[in-house]
A and B are shown apart, each in its own frame.
Chain A
Amino acid sequence: MSSPATAAAPDHGHDFEQSKFMFFVQIAMLLAVITGLELVTVYLPFMKWLLVSVLVVLSTVKFMFVIFYFMHLRWDKVFCTILFFIGLVLAGGTAWALLKLFGAEASKPLSAAMADPPAIVSRIA
Chain B
Amino acid sequence: MSTAAIATIDHHHDPSTSTGIPNKKLLMWAFLASDCMFFGCLISTHLIYRLHPPPGTLPARQVFSIELTSFSTFILLMSSLMMALAVNAIQKGNLRSMRWSLLTTIFFGCIFLGCQVYEFRNFVYEKHLTITNSILGTTFFTLTGTHGLHVLIGVIWLSGMLIYSFTGRLSEKDAIDVEMMGLYWHFVDIVWIVIFTAVYLLEYI
Contacts and interface: CB of A to CB of B under 8 A. Distances in A.
Contacts of B20: 77
A106 B136 CA distance: 15
Contacts of A112: 51
Contact of A42 (B6, B182, B205): B205
B202 A2 contact: no
Contact of A99 (B10, B29, B34, B47): B47
Contact of A10 (B3, B66, B196): B3
Contacts of A108: 51-52
B32 A6 contact: no
Question: Which secondary structure characterizes the binding site on chain B?
Answer: helix
B41 A94 contact: yes
B26 interface: yes
B33 A87 contact: yes
B205 A28 contact: no
B128 interface: no
B74 A83 contact: no
Contacts of A88: 33, 36
A52 B202 contact: yes
Interface string B75-92: 001101101110110001
Interface stretch (B113-121, B158-166, B187-195): B187-195
A66 B193 CA distance: 10
A76 B13 CA distance: 8
B49 A107 contact: yes
Contacts of A27: 81
Contacts of A67: 186, 190
B40 interface: yes
B44 A79 contact: no
Most B Cβ at <10 Å: residue of A28, A83, A95: A95
Contact of A94 (B33, B35, B37, B50): B37
A98 B88 CA distance: 40
B77 A21 contact: no
Contact of A66 (B35, B52, B78, B189): B189
Given A51-B205, A52-B202, A105-B51, A80 B44 contact: no
Interface in A57-92: 58-59, 62-63, 66-67, 69-72, 75-77, 79-80, 83-84, 86-88, 90-92
Nearest to B25: A80
A124 interface: no
B88 A20 contact: yes
A3 interface: yes
B197 interface: yes
Contact of A80 (B21, B43, B190): B21
Given A43-B204, A71-B183, A83-B26, A24 B51 contact: no
5 contacts: A32-B74, A59-B194, A75-B12, A87-B35, A104-B50
Interface of B: 3, 6-7, 10-13, 19-21, 25-26, 29-30, 32-37, 39-41, 43-45, 47-52, 55, 66, 70, 73-74, 77-78, 80-81, 83-85, 87-88, 92, 179, 182-183, 186-187, 189-190, 193-194, 196-197, 201-202, 204-205
